[in-house]
A and B are shown apart, each in its own frame.
Chain A
Amino acid sequence: MANVTLRNVRKTYPGGFEAIKGVNVDVGDGQFCVLVGPSGCGKSTLLRMVAGLETVTGGEIDIGGRIVNQIEPADRDIAMVFQNYALYPHMSVFNNMAYGLRNRGMKEAEIKSRVDEAARVLELTSMLDRKPRQLSGGQRQRVAMGRAIVRQPKVFLFDEPLSNLDAKLRIAMRVEIRKLQRRLNTTSIYVTHDQLEAMTLADILVVMTGGQVEQVGNPLAIYEKPATTFVASFIGAPPMNLMATRPEEIRSQLAGSAAADAGILGIRPEDLVITDQTPDGGVALPLTVEAIERVGAETFIYGSREPEEQRVAATPGELPPGEIIVRVPGTEAPAIGAKIRVAALRNKLHLFSGDGRTRLEA
């Protein structure tokens, strides 16, 4: 039972590289917080700082009302699940889970009951005598989870725990982790670069880039109102279509809006519909279909806004006149090379300032 609060946390490496540039996050008791961002954004570093595996250059890390900056990992009352599981290869599954309890001088009877209980929950009971190398990837992953839960810590930390699993297992384990966390009601911080994992697991989503927090909030709220163009394109798959509002064809349609002159317009692929009409206050775009992807339940149409010969290189500060992705249900799609017209409603438009750093209300 604990809150985790990060106050203006910074990390500068001896070489001068600033990995974390002042992060503020508040994770409530029992909440599931997901740190998401591209590789190198500092999310793993931040998690390791909470774990005590990296020193803190500035700011405060507070776990359950105690500043832990100078406290050893062992004394922070946390448990961590590593990307490569980090199981002890020379110990049996039972001993892997019991190790942390033995180090704390717990009685063998208590250790046995706790490990047995964890093994039952994780369906590892028949494997307690095996060594990690005799287990499959998914089983190792469950042992790593078991090692974390037997300790009954205040906080669980997960460092991309599912990225070594195949796609199907990943989805199954994702659901397992969420169920387990709900039942144990333990505060958790989870790092991933997979936005789908982030969306489905998080109570609080923290989107990071370049060592900074880009946006914090409820995952759906972030999806619906991304604060910057980075968040807009990172959260959601396929990513949001972003385009400059400068071209006359768009500017005229956005007349009266703050972003009309020199801003960025974003429209999610699923908010575009193929139609000949222009919705009131909305935006319509003519497209040439270039590629089609059918995935069964839905179809992605890749179109370009201008004929190839008219495309120009992007001028500085302006988005390239890129492709537009349209997501339509079912398998019906126009032929490649066809000229179509797509449109989005006014309330589905996302408008940003020209530098992409500020969201403007339409």
Chain B
Amino acid sequence: MQKQAIFQSKLLPYALVAPQLAIVLIFFYWPALQAVIQSFLLQDAFGLSTTFVWFDNYIELFRDPAYFESIVRTFVFSFAIAVSSLSFALLLAVMADKPLRGSVLYRTLLIWPYAVAPPVVGVLWIFMLHPSLGIIARYLRAMGVDWNPLLDGDQAAALIILAAAWKQISYNFLFFLAGLQAIPKSVLEAAAIDGARPMRRFWTVTFPLLSPTIFFLLVVNIVYAFFDTFGIIDTMTRGGPGTSTVTLVYKVYSDGLLGGNLGSSAAQSVILMIMVIVLTGIQFRFVERKVTY
């Protein structure tokens, strides 16, 4: 039961929410509205005249094969980032769940990467994997791998996925650890007595009981891969080589701010906004539906 606060004055509650409302209105709704308006306009190259063009920006966008490539690329990235960081985080969480000495220390260390800002993550990995500076790049070449993400698009993509997944591991780890600790120990003991070996115990008991956590994290990770990888991409590859690491969010930036096509960029933002709304809707519906197994 939640207690309802009772205010003497009718104005006070409005005054209290006003700052938050102002921030949301000025920094979110207004720019969003601007983007929607902008997406119906077309500016000439010098910004001297603006024409209302209805859905032309959208139509052009959907006729552009580069945009479709970018959509596919974004989904591939998201899927790869979500799967790799989820599975690695789960592995770490299962290991860290065991009562070992110094568990507080290594749990803390495992959570740290989450505090690192995405551009810093990008720089960190560049230092290690840059074809001429990176220490790991040197080992890779010594092993006979032709490592050059500055020229090879697939390698650049792998690099982005690696860095982005690495950063998200901590977050996932935290939730997995909490999820694992919420599973009653006696249930696993019962499974052990019931003749299930550790691997079978994991797949038939632990994993199904973690499924609500996994689903929640899957949505969170996809949202992250969609929108929060901008900093990593910008510091590591700037979308290159060519357009091989241009995701939807990066394309908004490069078309609008670098390419000067504000109309198309605005249309892309509106599409992204709709995607966010859908993903958030899924997440909310899921969070409200508590029982899942």
Which residues of A come within 8 Å of B, CB atoms? 51-53, 72-74, 78-80, 82-84, 86-90, 99-100, 103-104, 133, 147, 151
Contacts and interface: CB of A to CB of B under 8 A. Distances in A.
Interface string B186-208: 11011111111100100011001
Given A86-B184, A86-B187, A88-B187, A99 B193 contact: no
B80 interface: no
A151 B196 CA distance: 13
B37 interface: no
B196 A82 contact: no
A33 B190 CA distance: 21
Nearest to B192: A73
Given A89-B209, A99-B196, A103-B195, A82 B190 contact: yes
Contact of B193 (A79, A88, A90): A79
B209 A147 contact: no
B293 interface: yes
A89 B205 CA distance: 9
23 contacts: A51-B193, A53-B189, A53-B192, A72-B192, A73-B193, A74-B197, A80-B189, A82-B189, A84-B184, A84-B186, A87-B187, A87-B190, A88-B187, A88-B190, A88-B191, A89-B293, A90-B211, A90-B293, A99-B194, A99-B204, A100-B194, A103-B195, A147-B194
Contacts of A87: 187, 190
Contact of B194 (A84, A89, A103, A133): A103
A74 B204 CA distance: 16
Contacts of B293: 89-90
Nearest to B211: A90
Interface residues of B, number: 20
Residue among B189, B193, B195, B209 having the largest count of chain A Cβ atoms under 10 Å: B193
Contact of A90 (B184, B192, B209): B209
Nearest to B186: A86
A237 B285 CA distance: 55
Contacts of A51: 189, 193
Residue among B192, B195, B205 having the largest count of chain A Cβ atoms under 10 Å: B195
Contacts of B186: 82-84, 86
B198 to A, nearest CB: 10
Given A99-B204, A103-B200, A74 B187 contact: no
Contacts of B194: 74, 99-100, 103, 147, 151
B195 A104 contact: yes
Residue among B190, B192, B196, B197 having the largest count of chain A Cβ atoms under 10 Å: B190
Contact of A86 (B189, B196, B200, B211): B189
A352 to B, nearest CB: 39
Nearest to A14: B101
A103 B205 contact: no
Nearest to B194: A100
Residue among A73, A78, A83, A147 having the largest count of chain B Cβ atoms under 10 Å: A73
Contact of B195 (A82, A90, A100, A133): A100
Contact of B196 (A78, A80, A103): A103
Contacts of A82: 186, 189-190
B209 A80 contact: no
B189 to A, nearest CB: 5
Nearest to B200: A103
The list of the 9 closest CB pairs from A to B, nearest first, reads: A100-B194, A86-B186, A103-B195, A90-B293, A86-B190, A74-B195, A90-B208, A82-B186, A73-B193
Contacts of A99: 191, 194, 196, 204
A63 to B, nearest CB: 13
A327 B58 CA distance: 92
Nearest to A78: B193
Residue among A52, A74, A78, A104 having the largest count of chain B Cβ atoms under 10 Å: A74
A248 to B, nearest CB: 56
B157 to A, nearest CB: 37
A111 B194 CA distance: 14
A334 to B, nearest CB: 50
A72 B196 CA distance: 11
A74 B184 contact: no
Contacts of A78: 193
Nearest to B293: A90
Contacts of A80: 189-190, 193
A311 B195 CA distance: 61
A35 B272 CA distance: 65
Given A88-B205, A133-B291, 12 more contacts: A52-B193, A73-B192, A74-B193, A74-B196, A83-B186, A84-B186, A87-B190, A90-B208, A90-B209, A90-B211, A99-B194, A103-B196
A26 to B, nearest CB: 23
B207 to A, nearest CB: 10
A88 B209 CA distance: 9
